[in-house]
Structure formats: structure tokens, C-alpha cells
Amino acid sequence: MHDSPPEPLRVLGIAGSLRRGSLNRGLLRAAIELAPDHMVITPYEGLRAIPPYDGDVEAEGDPDPVADLKARIRGADALLIVSPEYNYGIPGVLKNAIDWVSRPPRTSPLSHKPIAIMGASTGNFGTARCQLALRQTFHFTKSYVLIEPDVLVVRAAERFDDEGNLRDEATREHVARLVESLERWVRGLRAGAIIPD
């Protein structure tokens, strides 16, 4: 007798850069390619449509793009955030979207949502400071953030081709490890184990 295949895990991939040739969008594409068999990573393409956060607008009801993003997060088993670092912090467009979906805190779809983070930068620190800032933000939203492996893609321009596709084998292996860990961890969380392995 064979075990039935596991339920597919649905992961929403959110890139923090709007640029067509974005290295981080390329990094997310690599994660989609390298995802384990029973994980489907869907890239979120709506970031550009999220308006600037405004409490007066929120009081009248979530704008459609915000309601759509909240529904996508609710429907996902986990998020994969793939972001550049801007001025040692979280890119404004990404932080703005997080701010919208963090509200109201008691019913936020980010609450208790498993999240993995990775990022690529052209510099030597591979988005380390942005990733720490994201972890701080996700502490407030009561999200669970995968602890390791860290995927900090340094000097990223050397690792991607002209179309923004990740070519560097060692980096592809890091990305594969992260998505495999994410799968193990989320399945472990569902089975009641907070710490996988």
C-alpha cells in the first residue's frame, strides 16, 4: 500500500521590487522553479496597484487591491518575501503593502502566517538589514518567520544573467534549501510541531 501524496502547499511569493529586470523578481522565479514537488509558489503581481496607506481611506473600507492581497494571503499556507534593501531598510512599496494588510491587527491575515524571507542586493550585505527590519515588522504582526537558512544574495549582479535569471549554482542550491526548509517547517507547524526536524 502506498501513502497518498501530501496536500500541495500554496505559497504566495511577494517581490519587493517593481522593476521589470529586478534581481529579486528573478530570485523569486528561481524559487518557483526549485520548489519541492508538493509546493506551488504563485508570484503576487499586484504590488503596484496598492495605494499609499491612508487611515481615512481604510475607514471607508479596503480598496480592491488591498482586499485582493488580504484574500491571497489568507488563502496561502505561507508567504515567501523576496526583497531588495533600500537605504538599509524595507522598500516603501513593500512596507506600504504590509502596513495595509496588517490592519486591523486582530483580524490581519498576517497573524500566525508562516513567512520565509530572502533577498538579493548588488552590495556586500545581501539585504541583511532589510531582512532584520522585516523580522521586526513581522514580530508586531504576530507572523511566524522561518529562522534558517538565511538567503542573502551578495553582489547579485554577478549571479544573474541579462534577463534577470539566477545562474549561479551555489545560490540556486541555497534557494532550494530555503524552499525545502519552508515546506518541512510549514508541514511541521500543521502537525503541531513548532520546531521542525
Ligand X SMILES: Cc1cc2nc3c(=O)[nH]c(=O)nc-3n(C[C@H](O)[C@H](O)[C@H](O)COP(=O)(O)O)c2cc1C
- Residues at the interface with ligand X (CB under 6 A): 17, 19, 22-24, 84-88, 121-123, 125
CB of 155 to ligand X, least distance (A): 10
Shorter beta-carbon distance to ligand X: residue 85 or 183: 85
Cβ–Cβ under 8 Å, residues 6 and 38: yes
Shorter beta-carbon distance to ligand X: residue 96 or 187: 96
Dmax (CA) for the chain in angstroms is 59
CA-based nearest residue to 43, from 68, 70, 64, 72: 72
Shorter beta-carbon distance to ligand X: residue 121 or 171: 121
Strands 144-145 and 152-153: unpaired
Shorter beta-carbon distance to ligand X: residue 28 or 73: 28
Cβ–Cβ under 8 Å, residues 159 and 122: no
CB of 9 to ligand X, least distance (A): 25
Beta carbons within 10 angstroms of residue 25's beta carbon: 21
CB of 86 to ligand X, least distance (A): 4
